[in-house]
Structure 1
Amino acid sequence: MTVEYLPSNQKRGKFMRYDTAVILKRYFLCERALVTGQAGWLSGVPYFDIKMSLPKMLWEDAMTAHELRNRVYELRFPSRMLEIGDDQALVDLIHQSHNAPNPLAFILGLSRVFKPALKQAYVDYLEMADLLGDGPTHRFLELAIKEKDVQIQTLEKLVSPYLEKNDPPSIEVALQWVKQLQDKLNQIGGIGIENCKGGEVNLSDKVFSPYEVPNRDKRFIPVRFYWPDIVDKSFPYGEGVKLQLRSAISHLNEIWAVENAGFILHEFAKDLGWDFIYDAARWVYDESRHCTMGYERLKQWGFEENELPLGTYIYDSCKGKDPIYRLGMLFYFESKNIGKKPERIKSFAEFNDQVSQHDMDFDWADETIHTAYGKRWLSAILEKRGLDPKDYQKIQAECDRLVDEVIHSATEEEIQQITSITENMIEKAKHIVAAYERV
């Protein structure tokens, strides 16, 4: 007896549930590797505009990765396995790209190799994936495509002046590195729907680690201490104009927190896993927003980069130390200063400085989240090491000591320098106020 069947030739039946999970798992692994690399390079990238743009990008990438990861678990239920498997060469290549020979090379590797490859992979996937069976993936990958497109355009726009200004040998090294990455990516089959071809990936024998001495933009004034009251207790915190300036400079100098959050994301990614990476990506992004808040207020008031101090003393205090103290340092300063924010918000309202009030208000909300991050992840890493998770307070105490040690190392020359910078800023601010009152 011949059994008859209805025809089934619709292309939407191409990918079954497990096939889809394998592909999305690959994309998750790529995004995760890109997030850790971007975070780790934050202290090594000198260009302020790029240093402030990467945090948003890595946070967006982490959000995409989070959705991919959850979708893979849904499709593989009840399994919670996310093995690298056949994607090992691809993941290795992205990790080896972290060993870029200079900051320019790393940035171009993102904008010209990996972000375009992932964007195209998402486009190709959505053209073949079924909207009915895999509707949830369509939603977040459509957003990811838009985000990747903006990221690529932003990086290319921001890096363009540095390609013109950098010394030719550095540019040549960077461009050659990008070619190596692209060639190797092509050899292993790219980031696509099919499994990569595999093979050895040997671009560098180095093991990347974040910069312990941060690279900073030369347009700003490089200092260790960014305001006199840090090293001179007789210098008043100030009211009125002085408080506005002090707050804006403090926000600008959260650049150390951007770099530090990136450092710990990279260093603890393996030990603490995805949930930590996800929280830390948000932490990095938030700190970059705070830094940019201060920068934009100062620029709006009329200050130029060459009048603004960028300090390193908090970041410096952890140099050569266990990265747990960098995590502790973020927790320490978040919990130490959060109680002062409502008072500042009230003061700015009295000055009718709505922007400073607005920025401090949102800063306060972020830092309540960060305090919880600090407590959670300090406890987690202590427990991972077989120690008492409640001992995070001892880490805080050591952070206090480390910072005091650096502060006490301040020289008279440094104190005079930052006092002069500050007095010049205050004097200029007074002229700005006077000019405004005459209008």
Structure 2
Amino acid sequence: MSVPYLPGVHRGKYMRYDTAVILKRFYLCERMLVVGQAGWLPGIPYFDIKTTLPKLLWEDAMTGHALRERVFELRFPSRILETGEDQPLIDFLKSVTHAPSALAYLMVVSRLIKPAMKEAYRSYLDLADEIGDGPTYRFMELAIEEKTKHIEHLENFIPIILDHTPEAERSVAEQWFNQQKNVWEQVGGISLETPYQVEGIQAVEAFVPSEIAVREDRFIPVRFYWPDNIDATFPYGSGFQLQLRSAVSHMNEVWAVENAGFILCAFADTLGWDYIYDAARWLYDESRHCRMGYERLKSWGFEDAELPLGTYIFDSCRGQDPIYRLGMLFYFESKNIGKKIDRIKNFEKMNDRMSQHDMDFDWADETIHTSYGKTWLSALLKKRGLDPDDYTKTRDVCESLVKETLKTATPEEMEQIRGIAHRMYVKAEQLL
């Protein structure tokens, strides 16, 4: 006679291992998405996209991190994340990073990848168990909200890009998008099921970001964004001059956005996920600083066409080992952090609460960034078989690269940036 037992109650479809397999796939997709978006930042000309996309990819990184940690919990004690049967999907995501243009890449991200991820997350929650898998519920519900907002942002940007894109380039982007859509359907997209093992997705090399900081003509295109960049006798100024100089400097941290995107992409495979996670935050922080300066200038009444947007720091690393782009961020973070306390005090005396507020948060961010710079420069040197404590030598090379770039300033560039600063001073006096 068999022993009677109580009937089982069905709640979730997936057991622990099945859950880990699906979440691992989602993590790998988020990872590729973060790296691709970061790598495209130098090649995107539009200021609003350059300073918005970092927030989106940072949120993707936060989701990816939560997914990764959850997989480790479910697979304990194993901490291996193999690609396995998800390889066709990951190959596709890697291949689309090599888009013919920023427009083409953003179309794929906005119209294929992010919508598919949002729907896959929603499908997962419909079938999972909120009790057994409660931790996943919390961050995945947030991820769905974020992906919805991401798609809205990108779909608002795409028409703007289309309006500024020649017909021939638009045609190439649309044709390429349709080709990728066909491959995407063959792979099966991103879902709860294992991707189809299709042929025809060629293995590609890692994406190499642009070494030219592409800019729109909405601002004044310059290499050197303020006279004191190339003229040591030009005063940093006090009063409204200091306010303007600080705001313009903050806005011109767009070079740091571009550089941070470059190095996130360049060293993603070498340094791994912990680096990607830190670099995504670093990148997001730099975009916030950039917006700080821009918003202050706009609040004072300045128009975009009156504002200089320079490239010289990004330019100084052109043709160099990307380690110097990482070093360049570290160099400027450690070089300027001590000055920010004085700036905060000066703005407090001026009763400029906005500049004081921005500089105060900037200072807090840069204390984190100096740690990032030291940690990851050391890690990269160690990977290369070099002394990890020699990171200061890399920083010294960066200082030299900047000095050599400053020497290339022409009299015409000096005259131009002096004129821009003078006109901004005059306008500020009128606004006073």
Flag the 1:113–1:203 CA change in 2: closer, same or farther, 3 A. Answer: farther
Report the AA paired with residue 156 of structure 2.
K
Matches within 5 A, 1:301-320: 301-320=300-319
**In 2 relative to 1, CA 29–347 (structure 1 residues): closer, same or farther, beyond 3 Å?**
same
Provide Cα deviations, 1:355-377, integer angstroms capped at 9, x if missing partner: 00000000000000000000000
Q: Aligned residue for 2:232?
A: 233
2: CA distance, partners of 1:111 / 1:204? 23
C-alpha separation between the residues in 2 aligned to 1:123 and 1:365? 36
Give the whole-Å Cα distance in 2 for the aligned partners of 1:203 and 1:380. 31
1:260 aligns with 2:259: yes
Match of 1:41, SS state, is helix
Partner of 2:168: 169
**Cα distance in 2 for residues equivalent to 1:224 and 1:305:** 17
Aligned partners of 1:99 and 1:204 also within 8 Å = no
Deviations 1:130-160 (A, max 9, x none): 1111000000000000000000001111222
Distance apart, 1:167 and its partner CA: 1.6
SS of 1:42's equivalent?
A: helix
How many residues are aligned here?
432
- The 8 Å contact of residues 93 and 201 in structure 1, kept in 2 or not, is answered as no
Q: How far has the Cα of 1:217 moved from its partner? A: 1.7
Aligned residue in 2 for 1:24: 23
2:362 is matched with: 363
Contact 2:329–2:373 (CA under 8 A) maintained in structure 1: yes
Local SS of the residue matching 1:256: helix
Partner of 2:324: 325
CA offset at residue 194 of structure 1? 0.7
Structure 1 gaps of 5+ residues are 434-439
Residue of structure 2 equivalent to 1:50:
49
Checking the alignment, whether the CA contact within 8 Å between 1:113 and 1:178 is kept in structure 2 is: no
1:8 partnered with 2:45: no
- Contact 1:89 / 1:201 at 8 angstroms: preserved in 2? no
**Contact 1:221/1:309 (<8 A) preserved:** yes
Q: Check conservation: 2:117, 2:190, Cα contact below 8 A.
A: yes
Per the alignment, residue 64 of structure 1 pairs with 63
User: Do 2:94 and 2:204's aligned partners in 1 also have CA atoms closer than 8 Å?
Assistant: no
Q: Which residue of 2 aligns with 1:436?
A: none
Q: What is the rounded CA distance, in whole Å, between the counterparts of 2:2 and 2:334 in structure 1?
A: 76
Does the Cα contact within 8 Å between 1:92 and 1:201 map onto a contact in 2?
no
Aligned to 2:281: 282
The AA in structure 2 aligned to 1:113 is L
In structure 2, do the counterparts of structure 1 residues 159 and 203 end up closer, same or farther at CA, with 3 Å as the change threshold?
farther
Contact map agreement 1:24 1:72 (CA 8 A) in 2: yes
Deviation at 1:351, TM superposition (A): 1.0
Distance 1:7 1:178 in 2: 51
Match of 1:293 in 2: 292
**Counterpart of 2:335 in 1: which secondary structure?**
helix
- 1:6 is displaced (CA, Å) by 3.6
Output one character per residue of 1:24-51: Cα deviation in whole Å (capped at 9) or x when no partner: 0000000000000000000000011111
Q: Deviations over 1:368-402 (max 9, x none)?
A: 00000000000000011111011001001111100
Matches of 1:385 and 1:249, distance apart in 2: 38
| Contact 1:379 1:392 survives alignment (8 Å) | yes
Q: Which residue of 2 aligns with 1:130?
A: 129
Match of 1:217 in 2: 216
Alignment partner of 1:89 is 2:88: yes
TM-score by length of 2: 0.98
Give the Cα separation in 2 of the matches to 1:402 and 1:117: 44
Q: How high is the sequence identity, in percent, across the aligned residues?
A: 62
- CA distance in 2 between partners of 1:207 and 1:271 (Å): 11
- Report the Cα offset of residue 4 of structure 1: 4.6
Match of 1:342 in 2: 341
Deviation at 1:218, TM superposition (A): 1.2
Q: Determine the structure 2 residue equivalent to 1:151.
A: 150
CA distance in 2, matches of 1:133, 1:204: 38
Contact 1:40 1:262 in 2 (8 A): yes
Alignment CA distance shift 1:19-1:206 (3 Å): closer
Cα distance in 1, alignment partners of residues 270 and 161 from structure 2: 36
Output the CA distance in 2 between the equivalents of 1:176 and 1:351. Answer: 56
Output the CA distance in 1 between the equivalents of 2:36 and 2:345. 40
Q: Aligned letter for 2:360?
A: D
**Deviation of the 1:176 alpha carbon:** 2.1
Give 1:73 deviation, angstroms.
Answer: 0.2
1:256, 1:314 within 8 Å by CA — same for their partners in 2?
Answer: yes
* Residues 15-24 or 207-216, more deviating: 207-216
- For 1:236 and 1:290, how far apart are their aligned partners in 2? 23
* 2:87 partner amino acid: Q
* C-alpha distance in structure 2 between counterparts of 1:28 and 1:180, whole Å: 25
Structure 1 residue 202, shift from structure 2 partner: 3.2
Matches of 1:161 and 1:24 in 2, distance apart? Answer: 35
Tell me the residue number matched to 1:437. Answer: none
- 1:172 CA drift (Å): 1.9
Q: Could you tell me whether the CA contact under 8 Å between 2:88 and 2:201 is conserved in 1?
A: no
Cα distance in structure 2, aligned partners of 1:313 and 1:369? 25
- Cα shift at 1:120: 0.5
| RMSD between superposed Cα atoms in Å | 1.3
SS at 2:43 equivalent = coil
2: distance between equivalents of 1:171 and 1:206? 25
Aligned counterparts of 1:354 and 1:360: Cα–Cα separation in 2: 10
Name the CA distance, whole Å, in 2 between partners of 1:112 and 1:291: 28
Partner deviation per Cα, 1:385-422 (whole Å, 9 max, x = no partner): 11101100100111110000000111111111111111
User: How much does 1:5 deviate?
Assistant: 4.5
The separation in 1 between residues aligned to 2:206 and 2:361, in whole angstroms, is 38
Aligned-pair distance for 1:208? 2.2
What is the DSSP-based 3-state SS (H/G/I as helix, E as strand, rest coil) of the residue aligned with 1:43? helix
Which amino acid counterpart does residue 225 of structure 1 have in structure 2? F
Q: Is the 1:258–1:287 Cα contact (8 Å) retained in structure 2?
A: yes
CA distance in 2 between counterparts of 1:84 and 1:144 reads 22
Following superposition of structure 1 onto structure 2, how do residues 172-187 of structure 1 map, counting pairs within 5 Å?
Answer: 172-187=171-186
Report the Cα offset of residue 251 of structure 1: 0.2
- The DSSP-based 3-state class of the residue aligned with 1:142 is helix
